[in-house]
């Protein structure tokens, strides 16, 4: 089974993901489902934890070998950034449990590839004003802040996570992260523990 966390930028999903993975009853039971990206690594990120950071040459090679499950490209102010999941034999949702982060589009492609019973969507939501404050605070900490890219992502999320697209993906359960992070973590962790019974 793959527990797949999604949400708009700066909704807190990376923090929630890491905290939930450490929760009692979950720690050690879920393998990280780490996808790949060609975007530059941000301050504080670790290769193989948030993403496998790679380049377009490696992506092209995986495409030629037919190993791409899902792929998306964002035209950023710094050029194209690709995010993708490869079928390299690491993922076996029938016999093992995983925990990943992605988008609605990648969720649907993984669901279609592995089958609906093996994908459990975890949609994290936060108020737009709160998200904007968090995004700005995070960007200010970067060595070279990318404010234009931050704004592009913020605006693109309105379309990427529209109510229509959420309904099309069949997602009914949502988790709010508007208050204390620990409250959202507790709610998500309880949901996952119940599914693992």
Rg (CA), the chain: 16
Segment holding 79, helix H or strand E: strand 79-86
Instruction: Give the count of beta carbons closer than 10 Å to the beta carbon of residue 174.
Output: 12
pLDDT over 90 percentage in the chain: 86
Q: What is the pLDDT of residues 11-57, one digit of tens each?
A: 999 999 999 999 999 999 999 998 999 999 989 999 988 889 999 99
What is each CA distance from 192 to 1, 46, 60, 64, 168, in whole angstroms? 11, 25, 35, 36, 23
Residue 171 has pLDDT above 90, yes or no: yes
The whole-number pLDDT of residue 102 equals 86
């Amino acid at each position: 089974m793959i527990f797949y966390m999604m949400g708009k930028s700066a909704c807190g999903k990376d923090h929630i993901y890491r905290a939930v993975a450490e929760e009692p009853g979950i720690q050690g039971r879920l393998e990280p489902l780490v996808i790949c990206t060609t975007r530059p690594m941000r301050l504080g990120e670790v290769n193989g934890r948030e993403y496998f950071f790679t380049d377009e040459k490696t992506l092209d090679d995986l495409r030629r070998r037919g190993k791409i499950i899902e792929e998306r490209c964002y035209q950023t102010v710094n050029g194209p950034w690709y995010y993708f999941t490869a079928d390299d034999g690491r993922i076996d949702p029938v016999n093992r449990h995983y925990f990943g982060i992605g988008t609605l589009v990648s969720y649907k492609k993984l669901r279609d590839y592995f089958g609906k019973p093996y994908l459990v969507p975890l949609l994290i939501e936060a108020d737009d004003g709160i998200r904007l404050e968090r995004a700005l605070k995070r960007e200010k900490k970067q060595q070279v802040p990318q404010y234009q890219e931050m704004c592009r992502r913020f605006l693109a999320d309105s379309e990427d996570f529209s109510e229509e697209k959420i309904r099309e993906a069949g997602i009914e359960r949502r988790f709010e992260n508007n208050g204390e992070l620990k409250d959202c973590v507790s709610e998500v962790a309880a949901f996952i523990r119940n599914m693992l019974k």
